[in-house]
Structure 1
Amino acid sequence: MRELSTLSGHKRINEPSLIFANNKRDIHPLRGLCEHGPFSKSLNYLQDIQVAIISPFKSNFKLINLIGELNKSASPKIAPDYYPEYPGFENLFETKLLTPKSDLTIELPQEANQFAQSGDYKTITKYLLHAISKLVAHKSSISVVFIYLPSSWEKCFTDENFDLHDQLKAKAAPLGIPIQIINDNSIQTKCRANVMWGLSVAIYSKAGGVPWKVEALNEDHAYIGLSYAMKTSKEDGTQYTTCCSQVYDPEGTGFEFIAFDTHEFTQDRQRNPYLTYNEMHAVMSQSLKIYQDNHGGNIPNKITVHKTTPFTDQEIEGCYDAFGQNTEVELLQIVRHPKIKGVRFDNKKAANYPCKRGSYFPISKNECLLWIQGTLEGITKSGKELFKEGGLKPMPKPVLLRRFSGDGGWHETCSSIVGLSKMDWNNNTIYKSMPVTIVYSKLFASVVKNVPDINKRIYDYRFFM
């Protein structure tokens, strides 16, 4: 019989509270919005949100009807124990969602449907980008553009090295126009409350609103997520990598991306790139500048960098020298750990519920297991514990945290990661399975891979939600 090894006891982080209007708190994002209003409500700078719409021939009415739905209440039919009653956009955010007038409504010509159904994605992309360009003259009055992509156009959605969603968002971002893609799921899903919740929070965020902040994050800290996109030069066929850096600060004033083409790197067997000292120093220096530009030139007391691959010695030195001696630096690799599962015991008996979210388990000085996914209390109307992935994954798996730089225990590190898993404003569930630093840096890297000409510019993440 194989012997079982014994590890140190686990600990658990309390579910981080979210901060709403007038500094009110709740752990449930949607309940908090209903009871307190969005965080930025007290700032009183978002009086109304003007929508513009782009749709296929004779389809504008579908988006007009959707805007009408967003302004009405709806009762949840799926997961009613989690979802509150949707109260309508203005009641929820105290901000009006305005239906567009004729100058902000564009229907594509009838022949666009024929190109779409034949799979001519290049022509469809041109039609849509031309429509977006027509709205630039009205940019000062537009908060967000709805673009309807029906299922009948699905042949144009993706192709080798092409993604229509990424193309549209990447081309609209330099114009300063946030877009909201609307598909047939948003129009046809039977549970309208769930659709309204997801769309309303995303629309409010894209228009510049701050739905909530998270209490678990120290306001003097900054968080950076790194991801990479491998590309091949069209000129000479050489490979290079674009490093995508996403900078997040807990104040909600900075949530921005920048991409750098880097030619000095090595690769492991899985072809993951690792930067040289000079390249990492340049990436981190520019990332720090993004933070300083939003904070009057000040430098954070601590910077935590997240990525899914290890940090090499050159990368570590590049980070340290970029940030200087007065800033504490924590470098974390965050990876899924599929070979490890946890079984929860209550009173020395196997429990009826999986491991609790926020449980963490140090396995060495520099390694720790953390359950970002898991059961939660205080969320449902019935008072039952909630495990949102329960229908798909009966047992949550932890992530492995590997620390390459930084001191102290694991509590603060794990608290920040759990908190950052609640900061995706394009999401109406209680949390994501990874922190937003990883989620959005990878998303941005995917966009950059397919649309390479958007690098070396700083973008607000709202343009890529």
Structure 2
Amino acid sequence: MTRKKRQMRRIPTMRPTKPFQQKQLKQITASSEWFEEPSLTFGGGSMHVDPKVGIPLYGPASVGTSRHKTEVHAGFIGTGEGIQKAMRFYETCCDGLDGDDQHAPFPGCKIDRGYRFTLKMDDSFNEKITQTELGDLLKIRDSKQRFDATLELLTEKLRLMTQEHDHPLNYVVLVVPPEMFKECRVADYHEKGVGMVHRDLRRAFKARAMQYNTATQIIQESTLNVEASSRELDHLSERAWNLFNGLYFKVDGLPWGPADLPASSCFVGVSFYRPLGQASTLRTSLVQAFDENGEGLVLRGHNFNWDEQKQGKTPHLTEDLAAQLIDDVLEQYEKLRHQRPTRIVVHKTSRFDPDETRGFQRSLRRVSQCDLVALRPTSEIRLIRAGSYPPLRGTSFTLGDVSFLYTTGYIPFLGRFPQGHVPSPLELADHIGDTPRSQLLKEALALTKMNWNSARMYGLMPITVRFARLVGDILREVPENITPHPKYKFYV
């Protein structure tokens, strides 16, 4: 026998395999439903789905109440040219503006129309930024020093307007000159022990304005152009709607309220931010939205350490901090409403980990019902609708045990799809609590309409989590030894 044959004999034979066993895949159930556009309440308790119809017809929700001001005094900070331009713009808006096929006309703002108040403006109310002051700022080479000098100049102008002038002001508009916007709007610098620090003039000025108890509006000069400009602008009537809706809210008016949120419910949005100059410290920021009118309060949570490299990018509260957060919410609610809520819904964009859940539930035992809800945008799954338009806003669908909600999309009342991009749904990523999912989604849809810094009838995120995140951007500029103002009109 040859060596080759001997080698071949050593090759093991293949063992017979077991018959192929087919796995039975679990069938995924799917369902969908559509929620009607939530109604809003306006003057006299009248209802409509769209602020741009409800306000011209009925007036804002607080008209005829002690919250409504029939006269609003507005002052301006800016260059002489910028102030004059801004005052003319506001005057033009007060008279009313035409719309077009895509934009509702602005009804104006006088005692008998629109937001039903008279806007008082006078040059004696204003504080000018001189060309010398502006030139001195622009000469500063270091971005941090230039930013700090700009903030100090604007804060001093605000102090003079609110404390030295004889005219009490309800509302202050900062008209940012183009040179200041370009060179002083942000500062990025390296700080020892912290790393790169980013600061934004809008956030810093808002934080400073709180100490003078003054609501502010920040506008670029280019936003005040009546005609089209090189910078892409919203339609003139759209700019007027947004400015005056924000103005009315900032002078303590209530533009509209939600019609269908359950009574004695308290909706809480939770977010996290890093205090200025802190490398590994986080704090929680909260926005509470109450039941009858959706009005909110801002609370600053407690510091806690979070190491992203060791613990991950998504921060979570310890059990004790989560419990303390709810204790603070209940304390503030009872202080203002003189009663305890019967139901609390906590909104977050990240899932609840076991420690957070135990802490929240520990304090929430004091209320009858509670829900922990994680809502986050997702582009991983979408519905495809037959026809030319995307899914309707208000469409909900469920795959297995995961639910989704379209808060943007085609709006039947408008007869169009106003966003201009392919809409993505929100995912109900986590839910621990007592309320049916369909009700939670309906409430989330209603809370997307509570952004009073705009007059739009729709939004992507519920105001709870949307403003909690924006509030955190401003809270990081508030020093630790200063208690931030609880009203979120100072944050928008």
Task: Give the TM-score normalised by structure 2.
Answer: 0.84
- What is the CA deviation profile of residues 172-199 of structure 1, one whole-angstrom value per residue up to 9, with x for unaligned ones? 1132100011212421153422221111
Which residue does the alignment assign to 1:382?
none
Note the C-alpha offset of 1:369: 0.6
Q: Specify the SS of the correspondent of 2:269.
A: strand
Which AA in structure 2 matches 1:123? A
Note the C-alpha offset of 1:454: 7.4
**CA distance 1:388–1:112, change in 2 (3 Å):** same
Note the C-alpha offset of 1:242: 1.1
Unaligned runs of 5+ in 2: 1-24, 189-197, 228-234
Query: Does the 8 A contact of 1:264 with 1:275 survive in 2?
Result: no
Note the C-alpha offset of 1:58: 4.7
**CA distance 1:189–1:140, change in 2 (3 Å):** closer
**Max radius of gyration: which structure?**
2
Note the C-alpha offset of 1:326: 3.2
Query: Does the 8 A contact of 2:207 with 2:474 survive in 1?
Result: yes
Which residue does the alignment assign to 2:352?
311
Which residue does the alignment assign to 1:276?
318
Query: Does the 8 A contact of 2:250 with 2:490 survive in 1?
Result: yes
**CA distance 1:326–1:124, change in 2 (3 Å):** closer
Which residue does the alignment assign to 2:391?
355
Which AA in structure 1 matches 2:169? I
Q: Specify the SS of the correspondent of 2:173.
A: strand
Which AA in structure 2 matches 1:9? S
Note the C-alpha offset of 1:139: 9.2
Note the C-alpha offset of 1:309: 1.1
1:89-100 alignment, distance < 5 Å: 89-90=110-111, 91-100=113-122
Determine if the alignment matches structure 1 residue 124 to structure 2 residue 150: yes
Which residue does the alignment assign to 2:3?
none
Which residue does the alignment assign to 1:290?
332
Which residue does the alignment assign to 2:382?
341
The separation in 2 between residues aligned to 1:89 and 1:51, in whole angstroms, is 14
Which residue does the alignment assign to 1:106?
127
Determine if the alignment matches structure 1 residue 38 to structure 2 residue 60: yes
The separation in 2 between residues aligned to 1:441 and 1:462, in whole angstroms, is 13
The separation in 2 between residues aligned to 1:46 and 1:244, in whole angstroms, is 30
Which AA in structure 2 matches 1:165? R
Query: Does the 8 A contact of 1:330 with 1:403 survive in 2?
Result: no
**CA distance 1:302–1:226, change in 2 (3 Å):** same
Query: Does the 8 A contact of 1:227 with 1:243 survive in 2?
Result: yes
Which residue does the alignment assign to 1:155?
183
Determine if the alignment matches structure 1 residue 212 to structure 2 residue 250: no
The separation in 2 between residues aligned to 1:408 and 1:205, in whole angstroms, is 31
Note the C-alpha offset of 1:343: 0.7
Q: Specify the SS of the correspondent of 1:186.
A: helix
Q: Specify the SS of the correspondent of 1:444.
A: helix
Query: Does the 8 A contact of 2:475 with 2:484 survive in 1?
Result: no
Pick aligned residue for 2:459 from 423, 432, 440: 432
Note the C-alpha offset of 1:126: 0.9
**CA distance 1:232–1:341, change in 2 (3 Å):** same
| CA RMSD after TM alignment | 2.3
Task: Give the TM-score normalised by structure 1.
Answer: 0.89
Note the C-alpha offset of 1:400: 0.6
Note the C-alpha offset of 1:265: 5.2
**CA distance 1:304–1:115, change in 2 (3 Å):** farther
Query: Does the 8 A contact of 2:82 with 2:221 survive in 1?
Result: no
**CA distance 1:89–1:414, change in 2 (3 Å):** farther
Q: Specify the SS of the correspondent of 2:262.
A: coil
Unaligned runs of 5+ in 1: 345-349, 380-384
Which AA in structure 2 matches 1:224? V
1:22-37 alignment, distance < 5 Å: 22-37=44-59
Larger mean CA deviation between 428-437 and 200-209 belongs to 428-437
Which residue does the alignment assign to 1:84?
105
Determine if the alignment matches structure 1 residue 230 to structure 2 residue 274: yes
The separation in 2 between residues aligned to 1:343 and 1:139, in whole angstroms, is 61
Query: Does the 8 A contact of 1:170 with 1:454 survive in 2?
Result: no
Q: Specify the SS of the correspondent of 1:331.
A: strand
Pick aligned residue for 1:13 from 23, 35, 39: 35
Larger mean CA deviation between 330-339 and 36-45 belongs to 36-45
Identity of aligned residues (%): 19
Which residue does the alignment assign to 2:442?
415
**CA distance 1:194–1:98, change in 2 (3 Å):** same
Larger mean CA deviation between 207-216 and 105-114 belongs to 105-114
The separation in 1 between residues aligned to 2:350 and 2:32, in whole angstroms, is 25
Which residue does the alignment assign to 2:91?
68
Which residue does the alignment assign to 1:136?
162
Query: Does the 8 A contact of 1:343 with 1:355 survive in 2?
Result: yes
Q: Specify the SS of the correspondent of 1:281.
A: helix
The separation in 2 between residues aligned to 1:359 and 1:278, in whole angstroms, is 38
